[in-house]
């Protein structure tokens, strides 16, 4: 299934800030998305009440391309300042607190958010347990916690819970992941690609694997920034059709969904993968290993691109299933830079959404 091809990209477009300071494409598209594959009604950040100050970060396409560029610029600026270990004067969040709410296990999300916020002078609070929507209504949790803190990061199962938190919060809600999307991860990915390739716009990103929340986030990004996105997946594991249609309807990027791993990866500037069975799907692991056998990222697949292709993985990696050790440990792999940039990209998101600097 092949989607709409965007108009040709002129100029450098989205490039590393050292080469250009702004996206060249700023057309706004309606802010929509999807949750489970069975749903067709899109989510919209535009229907959620804003905080008293700042902005929620719920979906990538809740923002213009210029705003996304500003987040990346701020993240890279903070990255540079934090690298200067002898200079401890960069404390934009001194006197501020962030509460982090988890209903999913977390390693990189927790460590990257907590480390970044503390390095910039803030304090972080992580409650032992908050039973979202069980012990008390989600909206009540939002009303109370937002009176104690300046920002809330939430890593949740249900996307509806995230939207309810945002609707009733006085402070910005930052989406650390839901079953529907993972926008912070994609911002870190774009930052990494920009650093390695010098630009992002116009490149071909090929995702190989399950059409999951990572794919939803790439698709929504494609409504803001022109690039080519291909999802290569086994039959029955395609991304939600409504989200694909959203990306196609924007007319900004070329969108392809294919079951052919031989053809799908040709010309890729980036090959990206994720675990075959995410949290909550481990009971399907044996079946998925059979279904995804032909979708392993190995040296043969990397060679089929015909280009100097980057390998990316949002982690954790389950070697040797979705990726071989040979690939993830190769010179083509930027996985560890990608993981580091979670912190820097999120710092930029926080600075933008909390209206600092």
Tens of pLDDT, residue by residue over 288-320, are 999 999 999 999 999 999 999 999 999 999 999
Q: What three-state secondary structure class fits 75? A: helix
The pLDDT score that the predictor gives to residue 59 is 97
Q: What is the DSSP string of 44-64?
A: -GGGSPPPSSS--B--GGGS-
| Cross-strand bridge partners of residue 273 | 208, 313
Identify the burial level of 160 via C-beta atoms within 10 angstroms of its C-beta, where 0-12 means exposed, 13-18 middle and 19 or more buried. middle
Alpha carbon 270 to chain centroid, angstroms: 15
Least confident of 20-34, 59-73, 119-133, 146-160: 20-34
45-180+340-353 and 183-338: identical CATH topology: yes
The pLDDT score that the predictor gives to residue 12 is 34
The pLDDT score that the predictor gives to residue 28 is 25
Q: What is the DSSP string of 135-166?
A: TB-HHHHHHHHHHH-SEEEEE-S-HHHHHHHH
Residues acting as catalytic residues: 314
Distance CA 126, CA 166 (A): 18
CATH class label, 45-180+340-353: alpha beta
| pLDDT band with cut points at 50, 70 and 90 for residue 2 | very low
Dihedral sign for Cα atoms in the order 244, 245, 251, 255:
positive
Could you tell me the residue ranges of all domains in the chain?
A: 45-180+340-353, 183-338
End-to-end CA gap in the chain: 44
* CB of 177 closer than 8 Å to CB of 327: no
Q: What three-state secondary structure class fits 300? A: helix
Least confident of 89-93, 130-134, 347-351: 130-134
Among 3.30.300.30, 3.40.50.1370, 3.60.21.10, 3.40.50.2000, name the CATH number for the domain at 183-338.
3.40.50.1370
DSSP letter assigned to residue 73: H
């Amino acid at each position: 299934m092949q989607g709409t091809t965007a108009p040709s990209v002129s100029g450098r477009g989205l490039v590393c800030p050292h080469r250009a300071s702004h996206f060249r494409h700023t057309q706004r598209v309606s802010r929509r998305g999807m949750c489970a594959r069975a749903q067709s009604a899109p989510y919209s950040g535009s229907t959620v009440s804003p905080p008293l100050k700042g902005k929620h970060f719920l979906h990538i396409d809740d923002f213009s391309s210029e705003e996304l560029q500003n987040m990346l610029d701020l993240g890279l600026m903070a990255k540079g300042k934090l690298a200067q270990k002898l200079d401890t004067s960069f404390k934009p969040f001194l006197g501020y607190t962030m509460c982090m709410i988890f209903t999913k296990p977390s390693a990189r999300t927790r460590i990257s958010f907590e480390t970044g916020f503390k390095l910039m002078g803030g304090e972080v609070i992580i409650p032992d347990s908050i039973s979202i929507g069980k012990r008390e209504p989600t909206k009540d949790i939002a009303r109370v916690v937002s009176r104690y803190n300046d920002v809330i990061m939430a890593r949740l199962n249900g996307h509806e819970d995230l939207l309810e938190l945002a609707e009733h919060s006085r402070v910005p809600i930052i989406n650390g992941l839901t079953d529907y999307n993972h926008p912070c991860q994609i911002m870190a990915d774009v930052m990494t690609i920009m650093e390695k390739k010098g630009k992002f716009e116009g490149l071909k990103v090929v995702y190989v694997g399950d059409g999951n929340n990572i794919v939803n986030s790439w698709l929504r990004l494609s409504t803001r920034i022109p690039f080519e996105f291909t999802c290569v997946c086994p039959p029955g594991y395609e991304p939600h059709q409504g989200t694909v249609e959203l990306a196609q309807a924007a007319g900004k990027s070329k969108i392809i969904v294919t079951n052919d791993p031989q053809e799908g990866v040709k010309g890729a500037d980036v090959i990206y993968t994720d675990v075959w069975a995410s949290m909550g799907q481990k009971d399907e692991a044996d079946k998925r290993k059979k279904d995804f056998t032909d979708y392993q990222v190995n040296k043969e697949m990397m060679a089929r691109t015909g280009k100097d292709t980057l390998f990316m993985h949002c982690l954790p990696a389950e070697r040797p299933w979705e990726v071989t050790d040979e690939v993830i440990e190769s010179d083509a792999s930027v996985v560890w830079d990608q993981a580091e940039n979670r912190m820097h990209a999120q710092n930029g998101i926080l600075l933008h959404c909390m209206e600092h600097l």
